């Protein structure tokens, strides 16, 4: 039984704080080396106590099984510019030795019926406390900026309507999700075409330089 929610949530807050620093450090390293990072920005939070209790009721989670059965008390969100960045970040997370991935759910290309898209990773993370190491469950969601915009607005509307959307509104939200994903795909295509243009121009410049040297 949870007698002191403040103390119970301390290791979860510590995990979120530590991982935000680590992931932001990765972003900084990418920027220094490549000038660009697949990580646009990172946020994190510990689920509010009221939300934990509500989910316990909704998911029929016993209080004595809370640590084992609720995987998103500690949650982080990684935002990316492009869809392909999501999978680059996922590969990066798979290679880390400080987390143990337990489950992956690809809602990017396997969207939920609502239109929701994101990549979820459930993992185990060790927190060092005064009484020793404590392993907790946590979740990372990786998504594009467009996916995050849609999910944020949908969540606020979902709260207002308590999950019972009018049929017309539900259909419009699904259409908006598709529009957001088409935007993601279009931006990826533009990025790819710009890369191809740069490669052609670089090859042309190298060729011109070689010709100039041969004429000397």
**Which residues 6+ apart lie within 8 Å of 124 measured at CB?**
99, 100, 102, 135, 136, 137, 138
CB 70 within 8 A of CB 55: yes
**Paired sense of beta strands 100-106 and 74-80, if any:** unpaired
Which of 29, 67, 124, 139 is flagged as catalytic?
Answer: 139
d(CA 97, CA 53): 32
d(CA 98, CA 133): 13
Which bin fits 82, alpha (ψ -120 to 50), beta or left (φ > 0)?
beta
For the chain, how many helices (H) and strands (E)?
6, 5
Question: What H or E segment, with its residue span, contains residue 5?
Answer: helix 5-34
d(CA 114, CA 151): 10
Known catalytic residue at 139: yes
Eight-class DSSP state of 48 = P
Catalytic residues: 139
């Amino acid at each position: 039984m949870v007698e002191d929610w403040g103390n119970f949530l301390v290791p979860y807050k510590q995990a979120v704080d530590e991982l935000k620093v680590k992931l932001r450090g990765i972003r900084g390293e990418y920027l220094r080396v490549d000038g660009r990072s697949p990580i646009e920005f990172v946020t994190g939070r510990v689920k509010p106590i009221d939300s934990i209790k509500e989910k316990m009721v909704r998911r029929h989670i016993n209080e004595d099984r809370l640590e084992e059965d609720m995987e998103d008390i500690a949650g982080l969100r990684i935002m990316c510019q492009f869809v392909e960045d999501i999978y680059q970040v996922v590969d990066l997370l798979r290679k880390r030795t400080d987390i143990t991935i337990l489950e992956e759910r690809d809602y990017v290309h396997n969207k939920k019926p609502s239109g929701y898209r994101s990549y979820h990773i459930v993992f185990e993370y060790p927190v060092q406390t005064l009484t020793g190491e404590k392993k907790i469950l946590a979740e990372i969601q990786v998504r594009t900026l467009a996916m995050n915009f849609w999910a944020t607005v949908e969540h606020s509307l979902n709260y207002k309507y308590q999950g019972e959307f009018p049929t017309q509104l539900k259909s419009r939200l699904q259409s908006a999700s598709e529009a957001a994903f088409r935007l993601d795909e279009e931006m990826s295509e533009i990025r790819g075409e710009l890369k191809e243009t740069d490669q052609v121009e670089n090859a042309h410049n190298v060729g011109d330089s070689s010709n100039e040297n041969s004429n000397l």
